[in-house]
Structure 1
Amino acid sequence: MGDESNYVPITRVNRVVLMINGLGATPVMELMIAAGKTVPKLQLEFGLLVERVYTGSFMTSLDMKGFSISIMKVDQTLLQHLDASTKAPHWPVGSAGNRPPAKTPVPLPSSRSMKSDELLSRPLQLTEQGHILEVAIEAAANAIINMRDILNDWDSTIGDGDCGSAMYKGATAILDDMKKYYPLNNAAETVNEIGSSVRRAMGGTSGVLYTIFCKAAYAQLKANSDSTVTAKQWAEALEAAIAAVSKYGGASTGYRTLLDALIPALAVLKERLTSGEDSCTSFVLSSEAAVAGAGSTKDMQAQAGRSSYVSAAILATVPDPGAMAAAAWYRAAALAVKDKFHPSFNSSINKSKS
């Protein structure tokens, strides 16, 4: 339980109640699946006594997809109040009679992603690929950290104002975890670990989408048997990640989302690599397309997410914060790799323009 998400400290063997709240368009079956996954995690990983589980649509956001998970520390008095009869139409009325005491679980040690039954860890010495990944990840995360306030400002106009804060939590978790856990010499497993960091630390829609993004990229990279990932394989991983986000998020080009930055970037990246351009140059030029695509969201009418309920006049005052964040980390990673491993890039570009 992180300090930032705790209003009341919750420790092992504390009694808690759990609420799985549908946001409006999530079927009850899916809420039950979420509850079934959450309860054993609370019991086994955190050692909590789950006294009650409330599953349903208690506080919705029109017909929004998804759900929220809330945990509250309780004592016997609070449980009696929660079990009391009520006329609230959607609150589950407590059943009569005494309930059996919650079982105290045997806590299991928490673990991160596993490979060959061994914990992944940062290698003592980095390969060239490992150095490139480290530079790119650090630059991308720092770019998001530096944008927290402006992302929140944009999101406060068209959403709930926490895009920057959510992205900031994910970025700081990535930087912290990279120092300890990321197997940087293994690109696929590193991407998988980034997804684990995001899933643990980043809330909101962004956290879900980037978890899907990383898992899809990991699966694509994992399918390649070579230890060193080529630029073409990175492009294929990006394409798979974009396809997964589009599939599960229900968005595409022109929907005013992070995909409006990443889809143009992918198109330029593939085009440049196919034409024989070197990987670093292709990466940087594709990042310019990401920035341009993100900026163009200011002229789009949102077709997904909460901003789809905001008027066109208000949307036209700010770009989409999710798209701007995606462009920022992509651009920062590209420039960092160029500066570190391709210092002659600027001079070659200037010569080609003259």
Structure 2
Amino acid sequence: MKKLLNDPRHVVREMLEGLADLNPGQALLEAEDVIVRAGGGGAGVAVLSGGGAGHEPAHAGYVGEGMLHAAISGDVFTSPSTDAVLAAIRAVGGPDGAVLVVKNYTGDRLNFGLAAELARAEGIPAEIVVVADDVALRDTVEPGRRRGIAGTVLVHKVAGAAAAAGLPLEQVAAEARAAAEAMGTMGVALGACTVPGAGRPGFTLGEDEAELGLGIHGEQGVKRVALQTADALVEEILGTIIEDRGLKRGDRVVLLVNGLGGTPPMELAVVARQAMAVLRRAGLMVERAWTGNLLTALEMPGMSLTVLPVDDARLARLDAPSAAPAWPGNGRIAGRQVVAAPAAPAEGTARPQQASGRLVKRAVLAAAAALEGAETRLTELDSATGDGDLGISMARGAAAIRALPESAWADAPMALHRVGEALRRAIGGSSGPFYATALLRAARVLPEGEPKPGEWAAAFQAAVAAVSELGGARPGDRTMLDALHPAAEVFASALAAGTQPKAAWEEAVRAGEEGARTTGSMKPRLGRAAYLGDRAIGHPDAGAAAVAIWLAALKE
């Protein structure tokens, strides 16, 4: 796997140097891979945490007022050394002592535990808080041997706020332990991650598989399952957490939706939506919710969910201000708010159907059928130089046209107007606005009743001009205009020369088809294809090809 690195042996130090450069409230210890608060720890209890790198923004991202005083980083997925932990304790700890928040992995417990013992020998009181929140291991090991995963972030917040409130060492540790023992976390991965220097993922998954109950070090999960919908995975994970933690109706909780590094915000939001719905359906009161990449496993695609029961005191710790750069904020939520959209203007009284309306209906339905039949071809053309959505967009537009009521086809102007509105609502991206604008302009130009051929030609030219005005394109820019413009001009000029309407339209179709073909040799100047430059040459513009398809469908 490709990575933006220099030397994998130096990646941790270079990462920490970058973080210290970016965050003025943080400083880097000279001889150890430790991030501390700039200006020292100050009076009071110090809160420290850490572990192997690869979990960013944890742990350094949580160093700041109201959270951690120091974060110690080992190599990727490797516990930091005892000496590094001890150096961090010396840097921020004082007579009031230090609380060390440790995820329940053997290496972390050994190195943090020994460093705490050495600190005590030097006169710095130290308490260890072990986080073992992974409920996926409920049928595998006893609770005290479970792994510590993303819920650790909430323990950082509770401990940091307690320390900032001036509590003594024992009370800070007690609040942190209580939070760690109360919470439950479980994750799912859709793929593995690749440790820098390893060159290959830690495991492989089929296209229809997921790892349920994995840890945060690239290891496999508790079980491999068939890939399910986001909603189904959330149901299973939260059902396990609720049962394991003994949560019951009326309990107050907070929710953490954590990305594992390779999951986009879109998917995390889908997960969060279902997670809150499941918790509320179970009768739980969701007081706060956070979502984001908060404790990751490099670039692993997947997520974890954490549920922490709260009372007023614990909620106050979570609500307390923090200057840590990675803390996602106060997490305050409300019920989903849906605001009614403003009503569209009334359409007025229905008009009796005229021949021109029936003609437009037959023509538009023929164009719709042609575009549906060309969906695969248009998708392939658009994928070569764009985002590949034109085929499905045209098919979606065709379906919207078929759904129009009979009253939409009263006469030609109304029909074009209603088709434009349907396409505006049905087609996203650029095609919807272009076609809607063109049809709305043409509808305004056409007279009511039975338009003459010359009036249709004028409406066609007005529609093409509207597309040009909206997008700023001109013929030769390698867009749909390279098919539209010659077709409209040839149709008008042929009619003006006395050519019969059907023959004039056939000339227009040939001009449009030739215009679409020539786009294959043009360097694009507008649209997504413009980003490709000369690499787009050889591929006809998909939008122009779509125009040629529906132009030909109107011959009859």
Whether TM-score is above 0.5 comes out as: yes
Kept after mapping to 2: 8 A contact 1:148/1:168: yes
CA–CA distance in 2 between the matches of 1:79 and 1:300? Answer: 54
2:433 paired with 1:245:
no
Structure ranking higher in strand proportion: 2
CA–CA distance in 2 between the matches of 1:134 and 1:173? Answer: 13
CA separation of 1:329 and 1:87: change in aligned 2, threshold 3 A: farther
Residue 99 of structure 1, CA deviation: 7.0
Which deviates the most, 78-87 or 269-278?
Answer: 78-87
Q: Which residue of 2 aligns with 1:41?
A: none
CA deviation string 1:222-250 (max 9, x = no partner)? xx3x4211222211211121112111201
CA–CA distance in 2 between the matches of 1:152 and 1:78? Answer: 45
Letter in 2 for 1:166: S
Kept after mapping to 1: 8 A contact 2:355/2:450: no
1:140 to 356, 367, 374: 367
Q: Which residue of 1 aligns with 2:450?
A: 228
Kept after mapping to 1: 8 A contact 2:358/2:411: no
CA–CA distance in 2 between the matches of 1:8 and 1:112? Answer: 35
CA deviation string 1:258-278 (max 9, x = no partner)? 110010001111111111222
Residue 79 of structure 1, CA deviation: 6.4
Percent identity of equivalent pairs: 30
Q: Which residue of 1 aligns with 2:78?
A: none
Q: Residue 204 of structure 1: SS of its match in structure 2?
A: coil
Residue 304 of structure 1, CA deviation: 0.5
CA–CA distance in 1 between the matches of 2:230 and 2:464? Answer: 38
Which deviates the most, 239-248 or 293-302?
Answer: 239-248
CA–CA distance in 1 between the matches of 2:401 and 2:450? Answer: 22
CA separation of 1:98 and 1:138: change in aligned 2, threshold 3 A: closer
2:533 paired with 1:306:
no
CA deviation string 1:25-80 (max 9, x = no partner)? xxxxxxxxxxxxxxxxxxxxxxxxxxxxxxxxxx9xxxxxxxxxxx9683485962
Kept after mapping to 2: 8 A contact 1:170/1:201: yes
CA–CA distance in 1 between the matches of 2:358 and 2:521? Answer: 39
2:356 paired with 1:129:
yes
Larger Rg: 2
2:415 paired with 1:183:
no
CA deviation string 1:10-30 (max 9, x = no partner)? xxxxxxxxxxxxxxxxxxxxx
Residue 184 of structure 1, CA deviation: 2.1
Kept after mapping to 1: 8 A contact 2:457/2:491: yes
2:322 paired with 1:322:
no
Q: Which residue of 2 aligns with 1:68?
A: none
Residue 287 of structure 1, CA deviation: 1.2
For structure 2, list consecutive stretches of 5 or more residues without a partner in the other structure. Answer: 1-228, 232-263, 277-284, 295-321
Kept after mapping to 2: 8 A contact 1:182/1:193: no
Residue 98 of structure 1, CA deviation: 6.0
2:502 paired with 1:275:
no
How large is the RMSD of aligned CA atoms in angstroms?
3.4
Kept after mapping to 2: 8 A contact 1:264/1:289: yes
Kept after mapping to 1: 8 A contact 2:287/2:333: no
Q: Which residue of 1 aligns with 2:394?
A: 167
CA separation of 1:274 and 1:214: change in aligned 2, threshold 3 A: same
Q: Residue 281 of structure 1: SS of its match in structure 2?
A: helix
CA deviation string 1:64-114 (max 9, x = no partner)? xxxxxxx968348596215998847xxxx75x6967766676x68x97774
For structure 1, list consecutive stretches of 5 or more residues without a partner in the other structure. Answer: 1-6, 10-58, 60-70, 337-354
2:347 to 97, 105, 115: 115
Kept after mapping to 1: 8 A contact 2:409/2:415: yes
CA–CA distance in 1 between the matches of 2:331 and 2:486? Answer: 61
2:443 paired with 1:214:
no
2:534 paired with 1:297:
no
Q: Residue 115 of structure 1: SS of its match in structure 2?
A: coil
Q: Which residue of 2 aligns with 1:35?
A: none
2:421 paired with 1:196:
yes
* Larger relative contact order (CA 8 Å, sep ≥ 6): 1
Kept after mapping to 2: 8 A contact 1:242/1:259: yes
Residue 129 of structure 1, CA deviation: 2.0
CA–CA distance in 2 between the matches of 1:169 and 1:97? Answer: 38
Letter in 1 for 2:539: V
Query: How many correspondences in the alignment?
Result: 254
Kept after mapping to 1: 8 A contact 2:289/2:331: no
